[in-house]
Structure 1
């Protein structure tokens, strides 16, 4: 006789509490992984330091009327946007692929833990570490490189919604992308090139307006370009707005594009996420 074990379903409130309780454990685990801390948490800070030092004698965006900014001020918005991508998409895509490969997800599948609780723990971890990373970037830019940060509350309100929407979308896309690597060993090799290419074509390291039009059109299809544009609207002077596509910050477009990717990521997670790979 074959017997089956039925895992009891938990009340919705219990599932939420389990998810919230996992956030602390996920954060602690994250900071114990030296490679993750460097390549996702500290990497934007390192890149900001390199660019700010290498181009310390240059002024960006200066015209006949002035209005130029230092290298640190110019690269800060892009590094904040890249940090959202690294903390969410890259971090979770690799982390979950490793957990699936080493049997962690298989063990969780035998517990009453709902999938949504697992997601809450992961997304909560990204929100916490992403906020800490953004704070560190702002401190380094302001204290070390003397970048003048915004004083207008409206600018910080824009930063807040771009950050929250961006980090949540990146986290969901990281979960959605996690089934792509076939093993934990190949996860970094699969995911990192994707995030690296997106950074180069989305206005993080190179001025977006100087990219070929066809490459701009490719970047327009992905959320990082829009997140970088939203961050530039917060931290760069008004005269930089004319350098954006259409000559405007287009914050409505930023919100629409990012929300569209958030919804697509949620749908994809719902359709594809499994505790155990079907081909295992």
Structure 2
């Protein structure tokens, strides 16, 4: 006589940890970015192309021991971080919203924050890769002197981190202004270009009209550029700044304030669906 086999017990599917979900989402975002050749070429190549153009036009010293190229490179590092975060997210999130991608994400069991974590991971990966590429290019072709002290590298780290965080949050927030996928670039690109012109990226900041300097001081890019100048330019150049120094305390305060402002704007304005979806 055979005894019946015990009934099979259903095995519960293994739950993926939130951290693993975020990392998986980040890898997906990076893969999608790399598949878009236009985005890769523009995001990674734009700062290098601009350096080549402006370095060929302006090669004089703007202060003893400081060439225009050295000054310009610091601004392009800040611009690269803004492009990877603010401009990239402000253009592509409306595309995903218009195609119904965000609506489908919202309908899945995946925590909503995982979607944003994936975007953050992508932005950080692009920002690091772009900055390393830009620094290597500048050292090789324009004899850029890298920081020689741990303190300056630390300053470089926190200025970049606060700046890219503020720009990421603002990029997510401004994505809600675009009504369709086609209008994302029209909304974001002019804002980014104007900020570059008034924030001391293309021109020496103190040579701009005073009213333009005051407007630029309201936004993060100006302070990102100023903080990075303290890293890559001689300490004595701080006397050329409007405040008579690099004002790193104020740089940290303004960038942190924009992180808070950007977060509030994200929480109050972000839309998962288009207006036609209700």
TM-score, reference length from structure 1: 0.90
Kindly provide the CA deviation profile for residues 112-145 of structure 1, in whole angstroms up to 9, marking residues without a partner as x.
Answer: 1222111100011000100000001100110122
- Structure 2: unaligned runs, 5 residues or longer: 1-14
Pair 1:34 & 2:37 matched: yes
8 Å contact 1:109–1:275 — kept in the other structure? yes
8 Å contact 1:100–1:106 — kept in the other structure? yes
Per the alignment, in what secondary structure is the counterpart of residue 66 of structure 2? Answer: coil
Counterpart of 2:46 in structure 1 is 43
Distance 2:111 2:177 in 1: 22
Counterpart of 1:7 in structure 2 is none
Q: Any residues of structure 2 matched to 1:247-262 within 5 Å, and which? A: 247-262=244-259
Pair 1:195 & 2:192 matched: yes
8 Å contact 1:72–1:141 — kept in the other structure? no
8 Å contact 1:123–1:172 — kept in the other structure? no
Pair 1:105 & 2:134 matched: no
Counterpart of 2:19 in structure 1 is 16
Alignment partner of 1:72 out of 69, 72, 86: 69
**Cα drift, residue 90 of structure 1:** 0.3
Pair 1:59 & 2:57 matched: no
Distance 1:244 1:59 in 2: 16
- Where do 4+ consecutive residues of structure 1 move more than 6 Å? none
Larger radius of gyration: 2
Kindly provide the CA deviation profile for residues 191-212 of structure 1, in whole angstroms up to 9, marking residues without a partner as x.
Answer: 1000000000000001110111
**Cα drift, residue 146 of structure 1:** 1.6
Counterpart of 2:12 in structure 1 is none
Counterpart of 2:224 in structure 1 is 227
Please identify, of 224-233 and 144-153, the stretch whose mean Cα deviation from structure 2 is larger. 144-153
Alignment partner of 1:139 out of 121, 136, 139: 136
Q: Any residues of structure 2 matched to 1:208-247 within 5 Å, and which? A: 208-247=205-244
Pair 1:87 & 2:84 matched: yes
Please identify, of 187-196 and 236-245, the stretch whose mean Cα deviation from structure 2 is larger. 236-245
Kindly provide the CA deviation profile for residues 16-62 of structure 1, in whole angstroms up to 9, marking residues without a partner as x.
Answer: 33122211111111121122223322211211121122224x2221x
Per the alignment, in what secondary structure is the counterpart of residue 60 of structure 1? Answer: strand
8 Å contact 1:22–1:118 — kept in the other structure? yes
